[in-house]
Structure 1
């Protein structure tokens, strides 16, 4: 499939599949990025559900231009192992789910930072296979699942990613999950077919019910 990243390293068993975004779902992103920015004399304010337009210099109140923003994000990803940590109960919940399902990470991150992220995940006891891509996520989940007659769940904090998976894998449980409470409160309401979880404990219940064939209210 054109644009779909290499999936040869993924080996799925005859059991359900859980596909998880990483930033702000499995690993905290907003809080560590705020700390990273403060270290560079910038502040990220929770005024709207985006990074652009919410970052200001602590020295003169100016906003970084597009090039400066990109440079800071690139530098953060290159040094993510110094800043990021697991979201609350992510490690324990995924360990529990992995006893009954295959877990795969699908992260919207430049693939060139895959090695540093892989090292970080392994260090944090998150050994599940990972796909790093900047392509749409729906075709990737479709290529992974291949219409198997088994339950599949997808967790992400961004609506367009959840909607992309909905359009390609109609029977997938779609869970909106975001670690940072301030920005979660600013997120748009989930669209049809997407269920919101406040935390990993709630997400675990939704996924378990989906595995059992119970209807999830969306």
Structure 2
């Protein structure tokens, strides 16, 4: 009998990122990142002028992997994954370049999280579909903080249950529920229970009520 499968994002799901990225940008570039707005490009220079989105994304390549040690564990995340791993396979699907994969594995292991890590660029629907085909799970749950990835998974792997989780409290209240997710839960105790219940139900995701 095949096991269930959990496919889980990392940044702002398992590890806090934006608050530490903001601190680093202030220290390194004298810029202010208003991450609590929920916008990744809400960045201003020291003179108050807005920073172009391209420059903001370029700074990510400075932060990863050199500054990854700044990141901290989301409360109850490691404990939830340990409990889920007793009955399911787990893959961490993270949108980082391939050159960051070993760094992410080491980083997660330092927090007691030792599961397969896959890096990705762009939408996560295709890699989720490939993982489902590879594992042949009885049921699959996908967890991510970004609505765009829930939409991508809904398109390419509609039978997968999709949980929207934004772990940064200062940002979560400004981020609306992802339209293509089946549920929104921002803490790992609640998320663990929701995931385990999907496994227990052993049914594919219900596509009714999802946006066209």
Per the TM alignment, residue 92 of structure 1 is displaced from its structure 2 partner at its CA by: 0.8
Number of residue equivalences: 204
Change (3 A) 1:65 1:104: same
Bigger shift: 116-125 or 172-181? 116-125
Hey, what does 1:199 align to over in structure 2? 187
> Which of 15, 19, 39 matches 2:7?
19
- Show structure 2 runs of 5+ residues with no match: none
Cα deviations by residue, 1:82-114 (Å, 9 ceiling, x for unpaired): 211211111111011111100100011122222
Q: Secondary structure at the match of 2:16?
A: coil
Cα deviations by residue, 1:135-175 (Å, 9 ceiling, x for unpaired): 32111111111283601100001111011112222221110
Q: Secondary structure at the match of 2:92?
A: strand
Cα distance in 1, alignment partners of residues 162 and 111 from structure 2: 25
Change (3 A) 1:211 1:137: same
Cα deviations by residue, 1:5-58 (Å, 9 ceiling, x for unpaired): xxxxxxxx9200000011111111111112212212221114643211x1112x
8 Å CA contact 1:80–1:117 kept in 2: the answer is no
Per the TM alignment, residue 191 of structure 1 is displaced from its structure 2 partner at its CA by: 1.2
Hey, what does 2:162 align to over in structure 1? 174
Change (3 A) 1:169 1:68: closer
Hey, what does 2:59 align to over in structure 1? 72
TM-score w.r.t. the length of structure 2 is 0.87
8 Å CA contact 1:162–1:194 kept in 2: the answer is no
Change (3 A) 1:143 1:116: same
Per the TM alignment, residue 67 of structure 1 is displaced from its structure 2 partner at its CA by: 5.0
Per the TM alignment, residue 62 of structure 1 is displaced from its structure 2 partner at its CA by: 2.3
Q: Secondary structure at the match of 2:73?
A: coil
- Are 1:95 and 2:82 an aligned pair? yes
Cα distance in 1, alignment partners of residues 153 and 165 from structure 2: 15
- Show structure 1 runs of 5+ residues with no match: 1-12
Hey, what does 1:111 align to over in structure 2? 98
Change (3 A) 1:70 1:172: closer
Cα deviations by residue, 1:70-89 (Å, 9 ceiling, x for unpaired): 33211111223321121111
- Are 1:31 and 2:19 an aligned pair? yes
Change (3 A) 1:140 1:67: closer
